[in-house]
Structure 1
C-alpha cells in the first residue's frame, strides 16, 4: 500500500511566495509538512490551515534532527516526494537533502543553486562575463587604510553582505567616512565574513524570473522595478511586462542565457535583478528561487502561469507547464511608512477593491504593530496593490 504523498518544506514566511507554496502543495493533494525555526509560527498554528503538520526545529541546518523527523513521517506511512524550500538560505540545502535521501526526481542543479546563495561566490564565478560589474571582495580583517588607497576616486560604491537577501545589508556609500562606517556595520552583523564591494550602476532595474528544465532556459517574466530614492534599495513597485524595445529584449535574453550557462544550471529556478547601463546589461543580483512577495500573483495575473505550482512540479520530477495562456499588464505597488509609529488602523481597503482593475489589496502588518521606515524589501510594508 502506497502511503500518503508528502512534501516537507524547510522554512516559510508568513506571506508571499513561500506561503503560497504551502497552500499550493495542499491544493495539489500533498500532505504538507512545515519545519520552522520561528516559535511564533507554532503559537499561531491556527493561522496555517493549509499545513497538515508543523514542527519547530531550532536549527534547520541540523541534518540529524531533520532526518529524524523525516524518518518518523515515513514510519507513519507517509511517502516523501521531496524536501523543498522557497526561502534563503535553505534552497540548495533542502535540495541536497532531498537528493541525498532519495526523495524527488527533479535532479536539481545543487551546486549552481549553492553558488547563487553566496554573493561573493557568484561574483567570482561570473567575473569573466560582460554582465559583471567591477567588484572586490574585502577580507573581514582588511585594514581601512589599505582600502582608502585602493578605492580613491571610485565613489559612490555599494557594500553588501554576501549572505543577506531582500536588499538587507546593502549600503550605498559616497565617502571614505561612509565606507568606514558601512564596513563596521556589516562586520558587526556578519563577523569574520568577507564583504562584497561593487561599483554603483545607474540605470533602470528589472527583475527576470527564470526556470531551467533539462537545460532548456525559459524566461518566464521580465518586470521593471520602482526603487525608493535613498541609500537603501527598497522596491516599491513592479510593472509587468517591462516595456523594452526589440534590441533590449534580445540583448537581455542573451545576457541571461550566458549567466545560466556559466553557472551550469540544468534544472532549477532563479530570479535575476539587472540594470540597463549605457546600452549594456549588468547583473545586480541572482537568487536560486523565484522572487517573494506578490511575484507569483503578478505572474499569474499577467500570464496565467502559477509559477509556484510549476516550481513544485519541477522539484518533485513532474514536467512543468510554462506556456502563457495570455498576456496582460499588471502593476503592483507597495505602500511604506516614512516614520516610526504604531499602526492604529488601515482604512480604504474595500473602497480600493471597488475600482476597476484592482485584483487584491493586501495589508501585511496587524493592528498595533510598530512600523518604521523599511531597511530592506519586505520590511514595514503596509499595503500591496495588485492591479491589471
Structure 2
C-alpha cells in the first residue's frame, strides 16, 4: 500500500465517482474506496482500487476502520463525490488535519435552511423563505405565505421531494409528507425539517467555482432546462450558457458573495441561481462538483477536467487550470411520459450516427419500474452533443431525441 493514499467516502451513482477513482490511480495516487454497499456502484469491481466495507454513515466507525487498517500519515486526502457524505468527510478531514472546508461550512451548505439564513445575514439576493419543523410551526406562518411556493426537504439531493405548491392545502400535505421521512436513500437520519420558499419564475443557471486559499476561481455558467411540474427535474444543460457580459458579471459576483457568506474556502462549488429583473437570485449552494454530467460538458467545451482539479486539491496541490479549446456542449436526459416497466429504447444507434453527438448512454436497467420524472432518479439515460453554438447543440440533441423511442 502506498504512502499517498486518497480516501473516498462513498460516491454518487451517476458515474463520476467511479471515474474519480480511476483518475486518482492514473494521477499516481492510491485510491481507497470506503462504502457500506459495494454493489451499489456499477463498474466498481473493475477498478484498480482498495474497497473497504464499513458503516460510512457513522464518523466514529469510519475513523475506527481507518485507524485499524491504515497508517494515517500515509493518507494525503479524504473526499467524496456524494452530497450525502460531505459532512462526514469534513469531520474526518478535521480529525486527520487534512485540507478541506470546516464542518460548519459544509453543514451550512448541506442544510438549505442554514444556507438561507447565512445568505440573509449577508444581504445576498434570494427568494423569501420559511423553515418549519412541525405542522404547528407551519400554521403560525401560513398567513405570511404568498403563492405559489416551493416546498423541499432541507437536506436531500437530486431534487428529491422538491415540489411546487399553489395553496395552503398543498403546502400542508407535502410538508407533512416530508416531515414523515425519517431515513434518506442512503440510510441516514434526516433533519425532518422543511424549507418553504417563494417560487421564482425565471431562467435557471448553475455556476461552477473552485475556492483555494481564500481565492475563488470562476469556471463558468451552465444553462438549465427544468421539467416535471409540479416537480423540478433537470432535463438538460448547455455549457457555456448564452448570456451577456453584464449578466455573467452579475451572476459571478453574486455567487462569490454567497460563497463568502457560507465561508466556503476549499474545493469545488456548484451554485444554482435564477436570473431575475433584480439580478441573480441564489437558489442553493452545493459544496461539491456539479452533478448531471456538467463536469463532462465543461471538459468537452474547454478541455478542463474538474474531477482532476478536485483530486489535485485534495492531494495538497494548488488550483490550476488551462483551457485548450472553447466549444459549446449540451446534455439532454432521457425520460418517459408514461408509467410502466422499462424494456429499453429503439433508435439509439441511428441517433448515435448524427454528427456532433458525443455520447448516448442508457442508465436504466431493463425491468425497472419507470414513471414521468419527479426527481433525478427517474431519468433513464442521456444524450451529449457539441457544436459551435447553443442553437446548433440544441438542434442536434432534438434530432437525436426524435429518433429514440422508449419501450415499456
With normalisation by structure 2, the TM-score equals 0.86
**Deviation larger for 320-329 or 189-198:** 189-198
CA contact (8 A) 2:264 2:287 kept: no
Say if 1:173 and 1:27 are closer, same or farther in 2 by CA, change over 3 A: same
CA shift at 1:72, angstroms?
Answer: 3.6
- Aligned counterpart in structure 1 of residue 117 of structure 2, from 119, 124, 139: 124
Match of 1:219 in 2: 218
> What value does the CA root-mean-square deviation take over the aligned residues?
2.2
Say if 1:90 and 1:192 are closer, same or farther in 2 by CA, change over 3 A: closer
- 2:49 matches 1:52: yes
CA contact (8 A) 1:237 1:333 kept: yes
Q: In structure 2, how many angstroms separate the alpha carbons of the residues matched to 1:193 and 1:327? A: 44
CA shift at 1:335, angstroms?
Answer: 1.2
Q: Any unmatched runs of 5+ in structure 2?
A: 183-189, 387-408
Within 5 Å, give how 1:1-388 maps onto structure 2.
3-38=2-37, 40-41=39-40, 47-57=44-54, 59-74=55-70, 79-102=74-97, 104=98, 106-128=99-121, 129-142=123-136, 144-151=138-145, 154-190=146-182, 193-377=192-376, 379-388=377-386
CA shift at 1:214, angstroms?
Answer: 1.1
CA contact (8 A) 2:83 2:110 kept: yes
Secondary structure at the residue paired with 2:136? Answer: coil
Q: In structure 2, how many angstroms separate the alpha carbons of the residues matched to 1:136 and 1:144? A: 9
Q: Any unmatched runs of 5+ in structure 1?
A: none
**Deviation larger for 16-25 or 163-172:** 16-25
Q: In structure 1, how many angstroms separate the alpha carbons of the residues matched to 2:46 and 2:38? A: 17
1:30-86 Cα shifts (integer Å, max 9, x gaps): 2222112236338x7x653224222332x31323321232224325x9922212111
CA shift at 1:173, angstroms?
Answer: 0.5
Secondary structure at the residue paired with 1:108? Answer: coil
Q: In structure 2, how many angstroms separate the alpha carbons of the residues matched to 1:32 and 1:188? A: 38
CA shift at 1:18, angstroms?
Answer: 2.3
Secondary structure at the residue paired with 1:136? Answer: strand
CA contact (8 A) 2:228 2:374 kept: no
Say if 1:165 and 1:178 are closer, same or farther in 2 by CA, change over 3 A: same
Q: In structure 2, how many angstroms separate the alpha carbons of the residues matched to 1:124 and 1:335? A: 36
With normalisation by structure 1, the TM-score equals 0.91
CA contact (8 A) 1:215 1:266 kept: yes
Match of 2:399 in 1: none
CA shift at 1:349, angstroms?
Answer: 2.9
1:166-222 Cα shifts (integer Å, max 9, x gaps): 111111110121111111111111477331111010110001111011111111120
CA shift at 1:109, angstroms?
Answer: 4.3
Q: In structure 2, how many angstroms separate the alpha carbons of the residues matched to 1:67 and 1:136? A: 36
CA shift at 1:110, angstroms?
Answer: 4.1
Q: In structure 2, how many angstroms separate the alpha carbons of the residues matched to 1:142 and 1:207? A: 35
Q: In structure 1, how many angstroms separate the alpha carbons of the residues matched to 2:171 and 2:265? A: 39
Say if 1:124 and 1:51 are closer, same or farther in 2 by CA, change over 3 A: farther
CA contact (8 A) 1:34 1:51 kept: no
Q: In structure 2, how many angstroms separate the alpha carbons of the residues matched to 1:387 and 1:203? A: 25
Secondary structure at the residue paired with 1:193? Answer: coil
Match of 2:396 in 1: none
Q: In structure 2, how many angstroms separate the alpha carbons of the residues matched to 1:229 and 1:345? A: 21
